[in-house]
Amino acid sequence: MARTGRRPGQTETREHILAAARNQFGQRGYDGTTIRGIAAEAGVNPALIHHFFGTKEQVFAAALQLPVDPTVVLATITEGPRGEIAQRILRLFLSLWREPETRQSFLALVRSVSTNEQAAGTLRQFLEQVMLTRVADALGISRLRLTGVMSQVMGIAMVRYIIRAEPLASAEEDELVALVAPVIQHYIDG
Amino acid sequence: MARTGRRPGQTETREHILAAARNQFGQRGYDGTTIRGIAAEAGVNPALIHHFFGTKEQVFAAALQLPVDPTVVLATITEGPRGEIAQRILRLFLSLWREPETRQSFLALVRSVSTNEQAAGTLRQFLEQVMLTRVADALGISRLRLTGVMSQVMGIAMVRYIIRAEPLASAEEDELVALVAPVIQHYIDG
């Protein structure tokens, strides 16, 4: 039995819509994307998207939860030695970005927050109210230090996948971990 | 009276040259673009471009509204104790972002590289062929380490000014320097 009691067909349709949404947000940014456009790509009626998710903003929020699932990040941080937290965080993000689908999600997010104030606000709320509180509590560090960690992770994504400046863009994951993990660990240990 | 005392015709000519420059850099990349080519497209004498802007590097900075003059960055890095390079770099960028005009320039740049592959490519070439080489040579560090520094500076801008996640968004500059400068210095010192 499905956890939510939904028929399997519904779950598939939701996933299908979210995949179309990620693609549309990635291609067109937040502003350029419409529910109608997502519906057209997913081959469903726009009303169904409204029914499943609500507004465009809520479709966006649903689509962006994938690359930054709080539960996975939290588990990554807490399960293992404290001295290797930075390494685990970095390897988690590198593994997400390695996969085209999750990388596209992340890039769509950067594009949307860079060009759309509402999208930036949505992400900001999500980070401040969900992610930062839970992770800072789990680590026992200040939220300022945690936003420092976040800035370093986002910056790596910007340089590696958006600007694609060498040699960082083509660096091996192990090489990047050796370079960046000590820096992130510094934010955690103070 | 115009603020700069320029005749309106000069302002128009400058804008005309910058539009041609943006088009040339976009079409041909940083390497493939020449002052002569920009002059031809703008229908002006190449000497006028040198007179208004200086070198190709400076035309590029003006055309992309680069928030910082490459010459200033280089001077900031090389003039002063090596152990305080990170602090100087960070204070330079914080001072640029503090001013609405330069902050807007920087945000415009992030938006255009995030949404436009051609803009990202042009910036990438400029960074790889001009900035990174010169700064890495001046510092005597690897280019990989330098792209690490760049990633941290960009990440701070993303979190502080684009996502505006607290508490980093409202942190005092001194507090930010105390938090982030040791991290950047770590990239430099290894």
Instruction: Give the CATH H-level superfamily of domain A65-189.
Output: Tetracycline Repressor, domain 2 (1.10.357.10)
Closest CA to A47 of A58, A36, A33: A36
CATH fold of B70-189:
Tetracycline Repressor; domain 2 (1.10.357)
Taken as a whole, chain A contains a residue count of 190
Do A154 and B155 make contact, defined as CB atoms within 8 angstroms?
Answer: yes
B111 touches chain A (CB under 8 A): yes
B148 touches chain A (CB under 8 A): yes
Q: What is the DSSP string of A137-150?
A: HHHT--HHHHHHHH
> Hey, what are B152's tokens?
């941290």
pLDDT higher at A53 or A72: A53
Percent of chain A residues topping a pLDDT of 90: 41
Select from A59, A65, A77, A61 the least CA-distant residue to A14.
Answer: A59
Structure tokens at B85: 């390079």
Domain A8-54 belongs to what architecture?
Answer: Orthogonal Bundle (1.10)
pLDDT band at A4; cut points 50, 70, 90: low
Q: Where in chain A are the domains?
A: 8-54, 65-189
Domain B8-63 has CATH 1.10.8.350: no
| Chain A touched by B158 (CB under 8 Å) | yes
The minimum CA-CA distance between B75 and chain A, rounded to whole Å, is 22
pLDDT score, position A36: 96
Q: Do A115 and B114 touch (CB under 8 A)?
A: yes
pLDDT digits (tens, 9 = 90+) for B62-118: 887 776 777 788 888 888 888 999 999 999 999 988 888 788 777 777 877 887 777
A16 to chain B, any CB pair closer than 8 A? The answer is no
Tens-digit pLDDT profile for residues A79-114: 888 899 999 999 998 998 888 888 887 887 788 788
Q: Could you tell me the pLDDT band of residue A2, with boundaries at 50, 70 and 90?
A: very low
Name the band, by pLDDT with cuts 50, 70 and 90, for residue B176.
Answer: very high
Q: Do A147 and B167 touch (CB under 8 A)?
A: yes
Identify the pLDDT of residue B7. 57
Angstroms from A145 CA to nearest CA on chain B: 7
- pTM tops 0.95, yes or no: no
Helices then strands, counting H and E runs in chain A, come out as 11, 0
> Is any Cβ of chain B less than 8 angstroms from the Cβ of A113?
yes
What is the rounded end-to-end Cα distance, in angstroms, of chain A? 48
**Complex ipTM:** 0.79
How large is the average pLDDT for residues B12-24?
Answer: 89
What is the distance between the alpha carbons of residues B145 and B142, in angstroms, rounded to a whole number? Answer: 5
Residue B105 and residue A24: Cα distance in Å, rounded? 27
CB B92 within 8 A of CB B72: yes
Average pLDDT for chain A? 84
Tens-digit pLDDT profile for residues B49-77? 999 999 888 888 888 777 677 778 888 88
Q: What is the pLDDT of residues B156-166, one digit of tens each?
A: 999 999 889 99
Radius of gyration of chain B (CA): 18
Nearest CA in chain B to A184: B183
Judge whether B38 and B24 are in contact, CB under 8 Å.
yes
